[in-house]
Amino acid sequence: MIRDQETLNILLDTVSRFVRERLVPNESRVAETDHIPDEIVAEMRELGLFGLSIPEEHGGMGLTMEEEVLATFEIGHTSPTFRSLFATNNGIGGQGIVIDGTPEQKAHWLPKLVTGEVIGSFALTEPDSGSDAASLRTSAIRDGEHYVLNGTKRYITNAPEAGVFTVMARTDPAKKGADGISAFIVERGTPGLSLGPPDEKMGHKGSHTCDVIFEDCRVPAANLIGGREGVGFKTAMKVLDKGRINIAAISVGVAERMLADALRYACERKQFGKPIAEFQLIQAMLADSKAEIYAARSMVVDAARRRDEGRDVGTEAACAKMFASEMCGRVADRAVQIFGGAGYLAEYGIERFYRDVRLFRIFEGTTQIQQLVIARNMIRGFNG
């Protein structure tokens, strides 16, 4: 739902120019140093990127879902590492508070997330519970005006930089499934909270993950999101529905960037006396990529519009995330193939994108989990 097309156009033009002039030239630097330059982070804050989808009453831009995915398409035209830093504030790191937080929780944390003063992080996955998130073991036992948390979270994006964590923990040990899970806001520096060493990853240099460890970590009862026990898993699923649309959108944006690079290379690279873009087998790869990107983009916009209408988009979000992330992987593979030997060299950057986008098919629910979500929703609908 686009509220003001003129204002949106200004935002999209500003983001596009920032991506082109500031982020793209720094891609190699970030990959080599595993660090986003401080001056770039400061510029992200000034542009308001940390608060794109946080409500205006808390200082954010309050973008609708449709407006947000259009901005994400533009942000996707550079390394996805840059987005990872501020996207958690807009997405999984902040949306639990936006969607289900108490007025006091919103008033305290959302303005800090908007400015980027605080980086948010979402702690759901554990060593023994990933796709089966409802089986998580981290416990939160009530003790007076506090909860005592114990457990370990794994692969937590932005954990090394995070100032606040949205943590899913089991408050009712008697309930083994989703009903016993609650959501908490845990501030960095809380006694009993510690971090593991940063993970060494295949890609996404500059975006960091690590374990988050709770050992008798005392969290004020006032930090129970929504003030209610047993609804944390529902909060997490609502957060993930929105997150899946965003991952689908970034998949589209990055695929557009890779296709643009591949097209440019194909038009400039000559073999047998002419540009390789004139060879039909190269054209087939370009055409297949264009068509799939168009299909994914249309799915993402449709899912976003449905969410803006207040409809349940569990199925559509899963469809968009599954198709767009798989599409992005295919486009990456074709792009490397079009570049040929050059595509295997770090010099051209396409091998970095090839590694980076592999993650899209895993986080926020693997492709296989999306298939299960889609099929189960279909069966549930059939059975009434």
The verdict on whether 21 is a catalytic residue reads: no
Given 27, 292, 316, 364, the catalytic residue: 364
CA dist 49 and 121 (Å) reads 16
CA distances from 219 to 140, 201, 239, 240 (A): 9, 31, 22, 24
Quickly list H helices, the chain.
Answer: 5-18, 27-33, 38-47, 65-75, 80-90, 95-100, 103-115, 232-268, 280-308, 314-339, 350-356, 367-383
What 3 state SS string does 3-39 have? Answer: CCHHHHHHHHHHHHHHHHHHHHHHHHHHHHHCCCCHH
Question: What is the number of other CB atoms lying within 10 angstroms of the CB of residue 174?
Answer: 7
CA dihedral (274, 279, 283, 285) in degrees, to 10, reads -110
Q: Are 203 and 355 in contact (CB under 8 A)?
A: yes
Alpha-carbon distances, residue 110 vs 27, 114, 246, 277 (angstroms) = 29, 6, 19, 49
State the Cα–Cα distance between residues 384 and 375, nearest whole angstrom: 14
State the catalytic residues. 364
